[in-house]
Structure 1
Amino acid sequence: MKNKKRIFRIIVLMATIVSLFFVPWIILKAILTPLPDTVQAQVHKAINYKLDGIIVYVDQAGKPPAFYAAGYNNRENKVPADPHTLFKIASISKLYIATAVAKLVNKQTLDLDKTLAAYLPEFAERIENADKITLRMLVQHRSGIPNYTDHPDYPWDHPFKNNSDTYQLVLDMPADFEPDEKYSYSNSNYLLLGEIMDKTLGYSHHDYIRNEILKPLELTHTYSLLSEVSLVDVMSGYFVGYEPDIKGNDFIQPGGSMVATAQDVGVFLRALNDGSLLNDDEQAIYSAIYEYGHTGLLPGYSSIARYHKDIDAVVVQFVNTSGGKTWSITEVIYKKILKILRKKLKSEKEGGGN
C-alpha cells in the first residue's frame, strides 16, 4: 500500500512538472498570483498580463452596481479605460437574437420546427441538409453548417460589407455533420437566423430587437451596428503583435455586430435571467433553446457576460486586447473576480452583513 501511494505521488509530481512545460508562463503566473482582496485590485493586476485595457461591471443583489476599469481605452493617446465606454460585444449579440426568436416563436411568427429550406428556399440546394435543418437547430448550433469564420478566406482585417458576401463561404460546402447529430458552435447559424427574421418580419431584425428588447429595458447605450455610433465613443481594440488600433473594423454579421456598454449588457442579462424581460411562455421557450450567458471574441475585443446564481450577481468583463494567450488570461481574471465576490459575500454573511 505504501509503495502504491509513493508511486501515485511520483505520478502526480511528474504530471505537475510536465504541465508546467506546456502551460505558458504568463498564464501560470496569472493563475498562481495570490488573490487580492478587492475586485478593483484584481482589475489593476490584469494589466500586468499584457492586456491593454479592462472594464468590469458587477450587479449583485442588494448592492448598487459597481464599475471597475484599468489600463487604456486608447493606448496611443494614453486615454484611461472608462467603464462606461461603448464596446464591441461580439457573440454576446447572440443572446439578443435568441431572445427575439423566443418572442417571435411565442407569437407564432416563427416556428422552431420549420426547416431552413422552408424559410429560405433560395438556399435549399446550396446548403446541405437545408430540408432537415430546423430553426431550433440553428439557434442551438446543431445544424452542421460550417462556421464561416473558420474559412481560410474570411477577411478578418477587412470584414465583408454585405452579408451576401459572407454566405459565399458556406454555400455549396459539405456539412460538418448530420443535423442534430451533435453541438458545434457556428456563426453561420446566426447569420441565417438574422436573414430568416428579416424576411419573416418584413423589416430588419435589428429594429425588432430595438423595439421589443432594448426600449422596454431602457437600454439607451446598446446598438445593433458599429455604424450607428461615433467611433470616438468606442473603446479601442488591439491585437497582439499588431500595433494599430483596429476598432474601425466593422463586423455587420448578425450574432456578432452589436455595440454596448458593460452596464447595458448587465441590465439585459439580469432581466433575461430574473424573468422580467420575457413573459412565462416566452421564458419557457427561451430556456429550451439557448443559454443564459455568453462570451464574445473579435479582433481587438474579448468579453464575458454571465449571471451567477450562487452570489446572485451579473458579472460583465470587457478586455480590448485579443490574440496570443490573452483569451486564457481573461478567463483566469474573470474566475478570480468571482472568487473575490464569493469570498466577500461569505465574509459578510458570517459577519452578519457588517
Structure 2
Amino acid sequence: MKQTKPKASKGKQIFRIVLLVGTCISLYFVPWILVKAWILPLPKTVQEQVDQTLSYGFDGVVVYVDEAGKPPAFYTAGYHNKEEKIPAKPNALFKIASISKLYVAVAITKLNHDQLLSLDKTVADYFPELVGRIENADKITLRMLVQHRSGIPNFTDSPDFWKNQPNTNIDVLKYALDLPANFEPNKDYGYSNTNYLLLSRVIEQVTGGSRQDYFKKEILIPLGLKNTFGSIDEVNLDDLMSGYYVGIDKDFKYENNGMMIATAQDVGVFLRALNDGTLLNKKEMETYKSIYEFNHGGLAAGYQCMAEYHKDIDAVVIQFMNTTDFEGFQWNLLQITHSRVVKMLEKAKKQ
C-alpha cells in the first residue's frame, strides 16, 4: 500500500511562512555594499584595491605599506580636497583620532619607568577635585584607565557633546562627571575616551608641559618624525586632508578639537618602532604588553583610519579615509578594504 507523507500541521505552515517573510525582510535590510566589498575577487594590485574603495562612497584614500626589506609604498585615490579637485596626496596630514591612544599608552609606560607616575595610583591621587564627581575615583588606577577597565562613562557618548560641537572653549570632561559608573573598577571592559583624556592630563601634570611636548621629546624626535602634530594650530591647513560626513555639506578639517595630526608614513614609522622594540626598552616593553594593544583604529567626524602591524608578514599597513557616516557603514568598509590589502600582501608573500 502506498504511503503518503503526512501534511505539516497548520501551526508549522504558519511558522514557515513567518520564517520566510522574516528572512526576506532581513535580506532587504542587508547593507549589500558591505557584502559586495567583501566578496569581490581580490584585484591584482594594491592600487586597484585602493581605487575600488571610491565606488563605496569615499572621497579620498591614502594607504601606506611598509614591508620589511622593501621601500615603503604609497597608494592614493580620490581627493585631498574635493571642492578644489585636488587629488589625494601620499604625504597628506590627517586627523588620526584614537590612534593617538597608542602614543598616550607609550608615554604613560615611559613615565612609569622613570618613576614620575605610578600605574597603581588612583584618579583621586592625581585629581583630588574629582572625588565625588567621578564614581570610584579613589579606586580607579592609572592602569585601569589605560586598559579601559575604569567604568568611567565615555564623554563622547553624551548627547550634549554632539549638540555643542565643536565644543570650543568647553572642558569636555564635564560630559562624564556626576554620572553613575558603568561598572565597578576592573570588573569589566568599557572603551571610554574619558580614560585617555584623564591620562593625557596626568602626563601634563607630572611633566609640567604639554602632552605634545612630551611626545616630541620621547617619541617623535628619537624616531625622526617631523610630521606629527598636536592640533591644527601647528600645521598649514592646505596640507591637512579634508574630512567629509555623508549628507553634510561641510569640510570638517577646520574643526579645532585638539586632535593629533600626522602623515601615514609618520604613523607607520611609529607603529613599527612600537612593535619591534625600537621605541621601548626591554622593561618598558614588558609593562606595555601588560597594559595595552599594539594596533589601533581612529574615528572622528570626517576622518577614519586604521594602523596595524602584521607580524606574520612583517608589514605595517596604515589606511586613511576621509569620509564617515551616521550608520557606520563607512567604518565597516574601512575594515573590509584594509583587510583586503593585508590579504593581498599575504598572498604575494607566499608566491
TM-score scaled to structure 1, two decimals? Answer: 0.90
Q: Note if 1:228 corresponds to 2:230.
A: no
Summarize the Cα distance change of 1:49–1:30 in structure 2 as closer, same or farther, 3 Å threshold.
same
- Whether the 8 Å contact between 1:157 and 1:249 is mirrored in structure 2 is no
1:66-125 CA-partner distances (Å, limit 9, x unpaired): 000001111111110011110000000000000000000111111011010011111112
What residue is the counterpart of 1:159 in the other structure?
166
Q: Helix, strand or coil for the counterpart of 1:73?
A: strand
**Residue aligned with 2:175, SS:** coil
CA–CA distance in 2 between the matches of 1:20 and 1:38? Answer: 32
Aligned pair partner of 2:300 in 298, 301, 318: 298
Q: Does structure 1 residue 38 correspond to structure 2 residue 42?
A: no
Aligned 8 A contact 1:145 1:170 in 2: yes
Alignment of 1:39-188 (within 5 A): 39-155=46-162, 158-162=165-169, 165-188=171-194
Provide Cα deviations, 1:207-265, integer angstroms capped at 9, x if missing partner.
1111110000010000011211121110000001112211101222xxxx210000000
Give 5+ residue unaligned stretches, structure 2. Answer: 1-19
Partner deviation per Cα, 1:5-64 (whole Å, 9 max, x = no partner): xxxxxxxxx899776444301111111221101110000000011110100000001111
Moved more, 222-231 or 41-50: 222-231
Report the counterpart of residue 352 of structure 1 in structure 2.
none
Task: State which of 181, 201, 204 in structure 1 corresponds to 2:207.
Answer: 201
Distance 1:320 1:157 in 2: 22
Match of 1:338 in 2: 342
RMSD: 1.8
Aligned residue pair count: 331
**Aligned counterpart for 2:266 among listed residues 264, 267, 285:** 264
Amino acid at match of 2:334: T
Tell me how far apart the structure 2 counterparts of residues 81 and 297 of structure 1 sit (CA, whole Å).
19
Match of 1:244?
250
2:277 aligns with 275
Alignment equivalent of 1:213, drawn from 203, 216, 219: 219
**What residue identity is the alignment partner of 1:238?**
Y
User: Identity over aligned residues, as a percent?
Assistant: 56
- Corresponding residue SS for 2:44: coil
How far apart, in 1, do the equivalents of 2:109 and 2:152 lie? Answer: 22
The answer for the alignment partner of 1:7 in structure 2 is none
What TM-score do you get using the length of structure 2 for normalisation?
Answer: 0.91
Counterpart of 2:4 in structure 1 is none
Cα drift, residue 205 of structure 1: 2.1
Q: Alignment partner of 1:149: what SS? A: helix
Equivalents in 2 of 1:65, 1:144: separation in Å? 40
For residues 78 and 157 of structure 1, what CA distance do their matches in structure 2 show?
Answer: 31
Ranges in structure 1 where 5+ consecutive residues have no aligned partner: 1-13, 348-354
Amino acid at match of 1:333: T
